[in-house]
Structure 1
C-alpha cells in the first residue's frame, strides 16, 4: 500500500515541467535524477515530494502543488485553456507554467483587458467564483455617452438587464463625464457581459473595458498587456481568507 501523499517520480517531475513521462524515463535511464542522495533507477518510484530531496542534473527540485499567476490580459484572447479557433490566455504563459495546467478564474471578455488570475488551485477558484461570496470585481471603462449621477443612483439600486434579470447593487464612480465618459464600476456578481449590459440598460455603450481588481487582488500597474507575474505570499494569503478552512 502506497503511503498517503506519495506519488510516482515521473508524475511529480512532469507536474513540475521537466518533460513528459517518456522524457523523464529517459532522464532516469541516463542517470540524471537522484532521490535522497541515491540515483533513481525507476521512473515509477514512489516519492513524497514535500519531504524527499529530488535532484535533476544536480539541481534540487523545489516542489509545489499550486501556482498563482496575475496576468494583465490583452484584448483578443479568450479566457480559456484551449480553443480551436482563437488564442487563449494560457498561450501567453511559458511551458514551465503551463505544465501545472493553470486555468483562468472567471471570465474576462475577449475584447476586454486587465486583471485575470490563473491557477490550478480549484478550491480557491471555487471560493472566488461562488455566488454566495459576492467577491467584488472593479472595472475601469470608457463609455459612449454622458454618465450622470442618475446612472450612479440606478446602479446603486440594481438595473434590469435585457433578459429581465435585476442585478445586485453596483458602485459606479464617475471619473470624467462627457460625450465619452470614464468610470470605475464595482460589481458583486459575474453575469455574462454584465458590465456592458448594465450600461446598455441605461442607454449607453462600453467602448473600452479593463478589470483592475478582484477581491483583495489589485492589478499590478507595472504589468503591460500580455505580461504576468506570480502572486506574492501576502496576496495569496489575502485571497485565502475567503476560505477559513485553508
Structure 2
C-alpha cells in the first residue's frame, strides 16, 4: 500500500493532506524517515510512525451507537444534526449509518465504512431481523399478535412479512402497552404504519437488536463505541 494512502486512511485525511507530513519529514517507516509518498508499506511487517507515534492501520471501522431523539440517520444534513455529528472523536472518513432510524426513534444504530457489509445487512434477500421495543397507546391484544404474525396490509395496500410481536406489559390505568417486535423488512416508518393499520399509535420506539448485534444497554443516549471482535463476528456470521 502507498504510504500516502496508509496515512490518509488511518487518520481520516485526503490523499493530498496526507502527503504534507510525509514531504515534511514527519513520517518514518521502520524508524527511517521516508519522504516519498509512493513508498510501499507492508501492512504485515512495517511500522509506520507520524511525529514519533505509531500509526495503526485499520481499513474498516465498526461502531454501535445508542441513537438519541432529534438526530437524523444521515451522513450530512443542512438543517438537522446527524448521527455523524455525534461521532466527534474518531476518524469519520467514509462512515455511514447502516439503515435509518426515524428522527424520534432511539436505540441501536450501526455505523461503518465497510460498504459490502452494510449492503449485506440491508439486502432484502438476507432477511436480517431487527428487534424493537415500543410503547403503544391502547391495549395490544393476542388477536393483534396473531394478525402481525400473519402479515399486515398497510393503509396504502402494501403487505408486510410476518412479524413476531410480544406483549411485555399492559398498563390499563394509563391505557398503554409495552411490546417487543421483530421484523425482517425495512419499509418506511414500518412499525408505526403496522400499528396504524390496526388503529393503534406508537408513542415511543427503540431498536435493541440488528441481526446478531445487540445494543449495549450501558451506552447512554448519544454515546457510541467500537464493536468488539466477538460482536463483529456474530454480526457477520448471522448474514453469511
Please report the TM-score for the alignment, with normalisation by the length of structure 2: 0.93
CA RMSD of aligned residues (A): 1.6
- Contact between 2:12 and 2:92, CA under 8 Å: does it hold in 1? no
SS in structure 2 opposite 1:52? coil
Among residues 93, 103, 108, which one is paired with 1:110 in the alignment? 103
**Map 1:151-230 → 2, pairs under 5 A:** 151-177=144-170, 178=172, 179-230=175-226
SS in structure 1 opposite 2:147? helix
Shift of 1:64: 1.0
SS in structure 2 opposite 1:26? helix
1:180-238, Cα deviation, whole Å (9 max, x unpaired): 21111111111110000000011100011000011111100100110001001011111
- Contact between 1:17 and 1:96, CA under 8 Å: does it hold in 2? no
SS in structure 1 opposite 2:196? helix
SS in structure 2 opposite 1:200? helix
Shift of 1:48: 3.6
SS in structure 1 opposite 2:131? strand
- Contact between 2:151 and 2:160, CA under 8 Å: does it hold in 1? yes
Q: What residue number does 2:79 align with?
A: 85
Structure 1: give runs of 5+ residues left out of the alignment. 1-5
Shift of 1:61: 1.3
Mark the CA change 1:138 to 1:33 in structure 2 (over 3 Å): closer, same or farther.
same
Q: What residue number does 2:143 align with?
A: 150
- Contact between 1:17 and 1:95, CA under 8 Å: does it hold in 2? no
Distance in structure 2 (CA, Å) of the matches to 1:144 and 1:50 = 56
Q: How many residues align?
A: 237
Q: What residue number does 1:133 align with?
A: 126
Q: What residue number does 1:56 align with?
A: 50
Q: What residue number does 2:3 align with?
A: 9
- Contact between 1:79 and 1:104, CA under 8 Å: does it hold in 2? yes
SS in structure 1 opposite 2:85? helix
The worse-fitting range, judged by mean Cα deviation, of 219-228 and 34-43 is 34-43
Shift of 1:94: 2.1
Q: What residue number does 1:3 align with?
A: none
Among residues 90, 104, 110, which one is paired with 1:96 in the alignment? 90
Shift of 1:20: 4.4
Structure 2: give runs of 5+ residues left out of the alignment. none
Deviating 4+ runs (over 3 angstroms): 18-26, 48-51
Distance in structure 2 (CA, Å) of the matches to 1:13 and 1:25 = 8
Shift of 1:45: 2.8
Distance in structure 1 (CA, Å) of the matches to 2:79 and 2:235 = 33
Shift of 1:36: 2.6
Distance in structure 1 (CA, Å) of the matches to 2:239 and 2:130 = 18
Please report the TM-score for the alignment, with normalisation by the length of structure 1: 0.91
